[in-house]
Amino acid sequence: MAERLVGKAAPDFIMEMVSGDGKDFGKVNLSDYRGKWLVFFFYPLDFTFVCPTEITALSQAYDQFQALDAEVLGVSVDSVHSHKAWINTPKTANGLGTLQFPLASDITKSVSREYGVLIEEEGIALRGLFIIDPEGDLKYQVVNHNDIGRSVEETLRVLQALQSGGLCAMNWKPGDSNL
């Protein structure tokens, strides 16, 4: 059984990454996001079919995340070179185009394993999404089967609920009172 992560310090990481414009390589680690909220999501593989719908939707909503003092970071087990090629491939050819956030490479699969989303026998990650608060504590996680894409609207709603500072009833939405 996987260890519970929500309510604990988020597992630390250091990974290679490529910038959202597909031009620069670098390293990214959890401490880079100290003081901000982080929407940290895993997807199975580059050049697949559901993944670009999620990644581009999150990129299109990036300004909304920024307005909530949140950053976004995507990660898969592919190399940074694969990420760069995918970003630089036109959308008409199943590419991503420019993104507003970086893509990290968990080529060793250690981060996917730490976050409990690695499918060991396949060597890929499930669709896991984690919200980490400015102090580095993991506040939310959702893990989907790889056939099912996630919802940007739900991610934004949950982020706002976490930031509201109170108890949020079922179907809480921004503007509703806390319990």
pLDDT digits (tens, 9 = 90+) for 71-81: 999 999 999 99
Domain of 134: which CATH number?
A: 3.40.30.10
Would residue 178 count as lying in a domain? no
Which DSSP letter does residue 178 get? P
Letter string b/e over residues 30-66, b meaning 16 or more CB atoms within 10 A of that residue's CB: bebbeeebbbbbbbbbbeeebbbebbbebbebbebbe
Q: How confident is the model at residue 92 (pLDDT cuts 50, 70, 90)?
A: confident
Task: Name the band, by pLDDT with cuts 50, 70 and 90, for residue 123.
Answer: very high
Query: For the packed helices 152-163 and 51-60, what is the interaxial angle rounded to 10 degrees?
Result: 50
Residue 173 lies in a domain: no
Contact between residue 26 and residue 73 where contact means Cβ atoms under 8 Å apart: no
128-146 pLDDT tens trace: 999 999 999 999 999 998 8
Tens of pLDDT, residues 150-163: 899 999 999 999 99
Residue 1 has pLDDT above 60, yes or no: no
Distance CA 55, CA 94 (A): 12
On whether the CB atoms of residues 140 and 131 are closer than 8 A, the answer is yes
- Does residue 80 lie in a domain region? yes
In a domain, 175, yes or no: no
Q: Is residue 169 part of a domain?
A: no
pLDDT at 2: 58
Q: Map tokens 């990214």 to a residue.
A: 28
DSSP-derived secondary structure for 29-52: EGGGGTTSEEEEEE-S-TT-SSHH
Q: Tens digit of pLDDT for each residue in 35-84?
A: 999 999 999 999 988 888 899 999 999 999 999 999 999 999 999 999 99
What is the arithmetic mean of pLDDT over 23-33? 97
Q: Which two tokens stand for residue 34?
A: 């100290």
Q: Identify whether 66 is part of a domain.
A: yes
For residue 87, being part of any structural domain is answered with yes
What is the share, in percent, of the chain residues with pLDDT greater than 70?
A: 99
The yes-or-no verdict on residue 114 having pLDDT over 90 is: yes
> Which residue shows structure tokens 């409990």?
116
What is the domain extent for residue 110?
14-163
Residues forming the active site? 51
The H or E element containing residue 84 is helix 80-87
Whether residue 172 is contained in a domain is answered as no
Q: How many separate domains does the chain show? A: 1
pTM assigned to the model: 0.94
* Distance separating alpha carbons of residues 172 and 159, to the nearest angstrom: 12
